[in-house]
């Protein structure tokens, strides 16, 4: 079997249905993979059962299928990957790289989201505590294929961050790094709301000896009031009978060419057409895009 030089993925969180913003991210990652004959994998990021909307997993996958997307191989669910996450955390705990934190939200309020290291040397027990990873006083930088150079000083701008929550749930930052490596992902294409998560992920990759994938962050679609779609309110599923027009609209959001005749095409025909013309240089170099301004 040949080993593909491009492996992409779509990694939805079932805390809501697929909305227009997630369609744009899925489309970008799909076109980027298929335009070079790469694989496109599906990973359900179901790390947080209390926040999961019942039926959202099936609804997301159904919508993607109706919109013409085809993924390779079996879907991975992060809820089945807990052993892998726990193993890494235990290793870091035993090395003293990770530690237990018992700080309350209220205690951390004055620090504006940067953890000040209060529990670093406290030696708290690991049960019923959050687990944080020590970060160095260093800047982490990468070259995004659309957004250009992005950097963040982990010590000053983030602080030691949570990899397992107090309630025992594993953190997105940890799971995404472990699973992208495990699935052999070469290219991460996702929304720009995750740009400032990337330096944390680069750091965890460094600790694990993983070569970082290439990154491409597409503009986050916002509501006219500036809020991110889907997160602030519960969006309904994307309408099944609007697949072609919404795919065309997502293509316009990505700055890609659109032919008026495509209106009469099936979703798969639209995707096939767009795969041949996919051009990363046309993607708007912006971190957000107002939904009302996409035609």
Residues in touch with Zn ion (CB under 5 A): 101, 103, 118-119
Going from the C-alpha of 172 to that of each of 73, 120, 180, 274, the distances in angstroms are 23, 22, 12, 31
Q: What is the smallest separation between the CB atom of 260 and ligand GLU, expressed in angstroms?
A: 32
d(Cα 142, Cα 197) in Å, to the nearest integer? 12
- Residue 46 phi/psi, 5-degree rounding, is -95, 65
Of residues 190, 200, 217, 249, which one binds ligand GLU by CB under 6 A? 190
- CA-atom Rg of the chain in angstroms: 20
Pick from 254, 144, 147: nearest CA to 201: 144
Q: Of 7-15, 34-42, 80-88, 97-105, which segment contacts ligand GLU by CB under 6 A?
A: 7-15
Query: Do the beta carbons of residue 181 and residue 205 sit within 8 Å?
Result: yes
d(Cα 161, Cα 206) in Å, to the nearest integer? 15
Q: Of 8-16, 111-119, 261-269, 277-285, which segment contacts ligand GLU by CB under 6 A?
A: 8-16
* CB of 53 or CB of 93, closer to Zn ion: 93
Q: H or E segment at 133?
A: strand 130-133
Q: Of 9-17, 62-70, 113-121, 145-153, which segment contacts ligand GLU by CB under 6 A?
A: 9-17
Identify residues 22-61 at the interface with ligand GLU (CB under 6 A). 45
Q: H or E segment at 143?
A: strand 139-144
Pairing relation of β-strands 130-133 and 161-164? Answer: antiparallel
d(Cα 130, Cα 163) in Å, to the nearest integer? 8
For the four alpha carbons of 207, 213, 214 and 216, in that order, the dihedral sign comes to: negative
# residues contacting ligand GLU (CB under 6 A): 7
Q: What is the smallest separation between the CB atom of 155 and Zn ion, expressed in angstroms?
A: 16
Pick from 45, 55, 91: nearest CA to 183: 45
Q: What is the smallest separation between the CB atom of 201 and ligand GLU, expressed in angstroms?
A: 8
Instruction: Tell me if 213 contacts ligand GLU by CB under 6 A.
Output: no
Residue 13 binds which one of ligand GLU, Zn ion, none, with CB within 5 to 8 A depending on kind?
Answer: ligand GLU
Q: What is the smallest separation between the CB atom of 13 and ligand GLU, expressed in angstroms?
A: 4
Instruction: Tell me if 11 contacts ligand GLU by CB under 6 A.
Output: yes
Instruction: Tell me if 217 contacts ligand GLU by CB under 6 A.
Output: no
Residue 219 binds which one of Zn ion, ligand GLU, none, with CB within 5 to 8 A depending on kind?
Answer: none
* CB of 161 or CB of 215, closer to Zn ion: 161
Residue 12 binds which one of Zn ion, ligand GLU, none, with CB within 5 to 8 A depending on kind?
Answer: ligand GLU
* CB of 41 or CB of 103, closer to Zn ion: 103
d(Cα 291, Cα 224) in Å, to the nearest integer? 6
Q: How many Å from the N-terminal Cα to the C-terminal Cα in the chain?
A: 43
Q: What is the smallest separation between the CB atom of 137 and ligand GLU, expressed in angstroms?
A: 26
d(Cα 31, Cα 189) in Å, to the nearest integer? 10
Q: What is the smallest separation between the CB atom of 240 and ligand GLU, expressed in angstroms?
A: 21
Judged by the rule CB under 6 A, the positions of this chain that interact with ligand GLU are 11-13, 45, 176, 190, 194
């Amino acid at each position: 079997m040949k080993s593909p030089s491009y492996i992409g993925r779509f990694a939805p969180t079932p805390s809501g249905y697929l909305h227009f913003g997630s369609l744009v991210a899925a489309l970008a990652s799909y076109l980027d993979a298929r335009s070079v004959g790469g694989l496109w994998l599906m990973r359900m990021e179901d790390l947080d059962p209390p926040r999961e909307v019942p039926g959202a997993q099936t609804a997301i996958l159904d919508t993607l299928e109706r919109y013409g997307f085809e993924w390779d191989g079996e879907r991975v669910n992060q809820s089945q990957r807990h052993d892998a996450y726990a193993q890494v955390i235990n290793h870091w705990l035993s090395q003293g790289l990770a530690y237990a934190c018992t700080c309350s939200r209220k205690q951390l309020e004055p620090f504006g989201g940067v953890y000040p290291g209060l529990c670093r040397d406290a030696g708290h027990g690991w049960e019923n505590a959050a687990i944080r990873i020590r970060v160095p006083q260093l800047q982490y930088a990468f070259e995004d294929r659309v957004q250009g150079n992005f950097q963040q000083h982990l010590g000053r701008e983030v602080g030691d961050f949570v990899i397992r929550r107090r309630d025992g749930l594993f953190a997105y930052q940890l799971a995404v790094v472990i699973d992208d490596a495990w699935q052999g992902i070469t290219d991460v294409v996702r929304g720009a709301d995750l740009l400032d998560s990337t330096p944390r992920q680069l750091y965890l990759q460094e600790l694990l000896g993983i070569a970082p994938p290439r990154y491409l962050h597409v503009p986050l679609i916002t509501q006219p009031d500036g809020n991110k779609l889907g997160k602030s309110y519960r969006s309904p599923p994307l309408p099944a009978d609007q697949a072609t027009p919404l795919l065309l609209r997502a293509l316009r959001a990505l700055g890609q060419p659109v032919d008026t005749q495509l209106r009469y095409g099936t979703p798969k025909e639209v995707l096939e057409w767009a795969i041949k013309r996919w051009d990363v240089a046309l993607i708007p170099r912006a971190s957000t895009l107002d939904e009302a301004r996409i035609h």
